[in-house]
Amino acid sequence: MIEVADLSKSYGASKAVDGLSFAAPSGRVTGFLGPNGAGKSTTMRMVLGLDHPTGGTALIDGRRYRDFAAPMREVGALLDSGAIHPGMTAAAHLSWLAHAGGIPRRRVAEVLETVGLADAARRAVKGFSLGMRQRLGLAGALLGDPATLILDEPVNGLDPEGVRWIRTLMRGLAAEGRTVFVSSHLMSEMADTADRVVVIGRGRLIADMETDELLRRGSGGHVRVASPHGALLATLLADAGLAVERAEGGAGDGALMVRGAEAARVGDLAARYNITLHELTQHRASLEDVFMELTGDKSDHTFTGTGTAHAAPRPPEAR
């Protein structure tokens, strides 16, 4: 489990991270989202002890990274797949890491097989594509068979097959009880992969909750319902405190769009009054839509896991 508490990082008068608190639990994939300059990479570097916080703490299973006796066996990280000497072969690079981390050499062949680079083990990294470098970086993160994985943009450069592969891998690792903390700009992929999402902007927390809960909060989410008794149903839904409007493509009494409710609630209400339904469909807002809603220039609110929203002061531009 990763626990960040009141974490801050300043560079002169500029705050890259400002009082950030969240948790990434074990057995879950936690997506770490934010626009460019939000402070994601700085936060990950502080969790890994690469940058020293100005204030607050970042703990992995209750300890600072530097306090682990064998850190590669506890935490695997992929921050920059380009930080590999181009003249080294894939096997040589991983062998060097294994030696430094006190990890058996047999793990080199195992992780190369896991990431699909077994046939490229003796090839120099300078001839690798971006996608292959990403796979090699991930192999390095997996080398010590760690319980915690911290991955910064791991799907960059991967083709659709590779994206699906890494999604399956991350979810499989989480299912084994590991902590998987991953940043990405691919919102659709995070919607399919992450159990939880942490969203930050300008170094401050914007949202920290289950992915499904965040999607329900998006203004684009609604229930589409159609009935031959649409006018009566609209009245009943409005009396129940729901926002109802005529749906596009609805004719006559036709189709309605209901906001602020789940399909089950709409269906139960219709059944209570014996109203026939011809359609009842739940439409979720996309994670991309919700992300833009939360992080756009006009967004000055913060969602927290408690279901509250409050104004968020805007600190100076983060790195």
What would the pLDDT profile of 17-53 be if each residue is shown by its tens digit? 999 999 999 999 999 998 888 999 999 999 999 999 9
- Across the chain, what does the average pLDDT equal? 87
Looking up tokens 């979810």 gives: 171
Is residue 66 a contact partner of residue 72, using CB atoms and an 8 Å limit?
Answer: no
Is residue 183 a contact partner of residue 33, using CB atoms and an 8 Å limit?
Answer: yes
Which pLDDT does position 274 carry in this prediction? 94
How would residue 297 be classed by pLDDT, with cut points 50, 70 and 90? low
Residue 218: pLDDT above 90? no
Is residue 256 a contact partner of residue 235, using CB atoms and an 8 Å limit?
Answer: no
Is residue 143 a contact partner of residue 106, using CB atoms and an 8 Å limit?
Answer: no
Give the three-class secondary structure for 217. helix
In this structure, what are the phi and psi dihedrals at residue 84, rounded to the nearest 5 degrees? Answer: -130, 135
Q: What is the DSSP letter of 119?
A: G
Which pLDDT does position 219 carry in this prediction? 61
How would residue 307 be classed by pLDDT, with cut points 50, 70 and 90? very low
Please name the amino acid found at residue 290.
V
Indicate the pTM of the whole model. 0.78
Q: Which helix (H) or strand (E) holds 266?
A: helix 263-272
Query: How far apart, in Å, are the Cα atoms of 69 and each of 13, 66, 75?
Result: 35, 8, 11
Q: Which domains does the chain have, with CATH numbers?
A: 2-211+293-303 (3.40.50.300), 222-283 (3.30.70)
Closest-CA residue to 47 (of 27, 63, 30): 63
